[in-house]
Amino acid sequence: MDILKSLGHPEEIFNLFKFKMGGCRAVMPKLDYESMTESLRTCYLYLNQTSRSFAAVIQALDGELRHAVCIFYLVLRALDTVEDDMTIPLDKKVPMLNDFHTFLYQDEWCFTESQEKDRQVLEDFPTISLEFRNLAQEYRDVISDICHRMGVGMAEFLEKKVGSMKEWDQYCHYVAGLVGIGLSRLFSASQLEDPEVGRDTELANSMGLFLQKTNIIRDYLEDTQEGRAFWPREAWSQFAGRLEDLAQPEKLESALSCLNLLVTDALHHVPDVIAYLSRLRNQSVFNFCAIPQVMAIATLSTCYNNPMVFQGVVKIRKGQAVTLMMEATNMSAVQTIIAQYSQEILHKVSLTDPSREKTLHILAVIREKSALSQSSLRSRTHHLSPMYLSAAMVLAALSWQYLSTTAAQAQGTSDMQGP
């Protein structure tokens, strides 16, 4: 029964089968590896090995934009690997982060001392930098600039904790908002999107902040257990003496209040997300941008007022992830998804939650921005006969092994771990 429960609603079970039987090609068309250089094929190999979030949607982008975004991701993954490696002393790490953008033009630069799981992108950085230099100048300029600005920001936060809510926004800007800005500039440089998409840095920044804040909220337990602190002190100090105290059972009420405060803060980016997505015209770019965003709001809905954030790993269901991937292909569908999960959060808002009024206000704004009336929200649980439902459940259970590889790939997208 645990397996059946994890599969979720009958619609999600159906979509798992549909995804396996060819529906995945709607969002993940097969790449022509035969036409690629050996070094470019290696880059895509690294992309699939290191990305828990964007490998599928990157490979679905149109034309030369696909290669530019692939290299952009790998460059930032390498930079991020340096930041994450606690075995590199600060007197060595800070200059590396500040100067990392210069390594893009050094044919043989690599770093072989990392202990991180994604160290191959540093050890074989010459392959990545070679393909970077093969990109058109307009792409290279964007990637180098964002790499530089991100490296400087990462170095700044190495020696200080995230204190105020303003600093939380600043940290998320450095590690994710700049990614949104860089991607938007790449979209415009490719001419698949209008120049305005690349110029509007405020909306692009919000796209990144929404994903990053969702990750930080969801990953509370893993981060605190590994000695990392990304929840802002201004938020958690209202409810506990130490950030890690929120995981204590007797602190549950305070922990949930802090959690809900941060979820409410993250939700303030959703109107910008809606505005940004509504500007996009290219289908592959829309899918690339929309899928992580709907995964994020689904994850926030799962996290909101959920004690499991402080006790284990919180993830959306595999079938839920596949369903979102297959549905989030147009603005109307995205608005429906956002409205639905906003409604789910609304139903969980407690009468005694300290952030109640702020939560209700931003949910009302989101409801208005999504431009959907209550009557247009359709239930995602279809009314099926008991016989059909039983047959579907049995078929799903018997076929779980067959589906597990594809479902795991879909779950990787749901994790939304940014570069």
Kindly tell me if the per-residue pLDDT of 4 is higher than 70. Answer: no
Q: Across 259-263, 377-381, 394-398, which has the greatest mean pLDDT?
A: 259-263
Instruction: Output the pLDDT for position 52.
Output: 66
Kindly tell me if the per-residue pLDDT of 195 is higher than 90. Answer: yes
> Active site residue: 41, 140, 149, 228, which one?
228
d(CA 104, CA 183): 18
Buried b (16+ CB within 10 A) or exposed e, 248-269: eeebeebbbbbbbbbbbbbbbb
Instruction: Output the pLDDT for position 30.
Output: 56
The answer to whether residue 402 sits within a structural domain is: no
d(CA 283, CA 192): 9
CB half-sphere exposure, 108, CA atoms < 13 A = 0
Least confident of 83-92, 98-107, 237-246, 375-384: 375-384
DSSP character at residue 193: S
* Measured CA angle at 56 (ends 53, 47), to 5 deg: 70
Kindly tell me if the per-residue pLDDT of 393 is higher than 60. Answer: no
Q: How many domains does the chain have?
A: 1
The answer to whether residue 51 sits within a structural domain is: yes
Radius of gyration of the chain (CA): 21
Least confident of 44-53, 215-224, 225-234: 44-53
Kindly tell me if the per-residue pLDDT of 226 is higher than 50. Answer: yes
- Report H helices in 21-62: 38-50, 55-58
Confidence of residue 36 (pLDDT cuts 50, 70, 90): confident
Contacts of 115 (CB under 8 A, 6+ apart): 85, 87
Please identify which residue in the block is written with the tokens 């800005």: 181
Residue 201 buriedness (CB in 10 A; 0-12 / 13-18 / 19+): middle
The answer to whether residue 64 sits within a structural domain is: yes
Domain of residue 109 covers: 31-136
The answer to whether residue 67 sits within a structural domain is: yes
Nearest to 54 by CA among 324, 317, 414, 413: 413
Each residue's pLDDT tens digit, 275-306: 999 999 999 999 999 999 999 999 999 999 99
Instruction: Output the pLDDT for position 401.
Output: 43
The answer to whether residue 82 sits within a structural domain is: yes
Instruction: Output the pLDDT for position 84.
Output: 87
DSSP character at residue 249: G
Handedness of CA 14, 348, 247, 221 (dihedral sign): positive
> Active site residue: 185, 218, 317, 367, which one?
218
> Active site residue: 44, 210, 288, 304, which one?
288
DSSP character at residue 31: P
Each residue's pLDDT tens digit, 72-117: 999 999 999 999 888 899 999 999 999 999 999 999 999 999 989 9
Each residue's pLDDT tens digit, 248-282: 999 999 999 999 999 999 999 999 999 999 999 99
Instruction: Output the pLDDT for position 400.
Output: 39
> Active site residue: 73, 125, 171, 310, which one?
171
Confidence of residue 29 (pLDDT cuts 50, 70, 90): low
Q: Measured in Å, how far apart are the chain's first and last C-alpha atoms? A: 36
Instruction: Output the pLDDT for position 338.
Output: 96
**Catalytic annotation on 228?**
yes
Backbone angles phi, psi at 70, to 5 degrees: -60, -50
d(CA 229, CA 100): 24
CB contact at 8 A, 81 and 114: yes
Each residue's pLDDT tens digit, 112-121: 999 899 999 9
- Averaged pLDDT score across all residues of the chain: 84
**Catalytic annotation on 171?**
yes
Confidence of residue 387 (pLDDT cuts 50, 70, 90): very low
More reliable by pLDDT, 202 or 59: 202
- 306 alpha carbon, distance to own chain's centre: 20
Nearest to 341 by CA among 377, 305, 368: 377
Element (H, E) at 143: helix 137-158
Residue 145 buriedness (CB in 10 A; 0-12 / 13-18 / 19+): middle
**Catalytic annotation on 218?**
yes
Q: In Å, how far are 261, 272, 385 from 256, measured between CA atoms? A: 8, 26, 38
68: number of Cβ within 10 Å: 26
What proportion of the chain, given as a percentage, has pLDDT over 70? 80
d(CA 382, CA 394): 18
Instruction: Output the pLDDT for position 317.
Output: 83
The answer to whether residue 290 sits within a structural domain is: no
The answer to whether residue 100 sits within a structural domain is: yes
d(CA 343, CA 366): 10
The answer to whether residue 66 sits within a structural domain is: yes
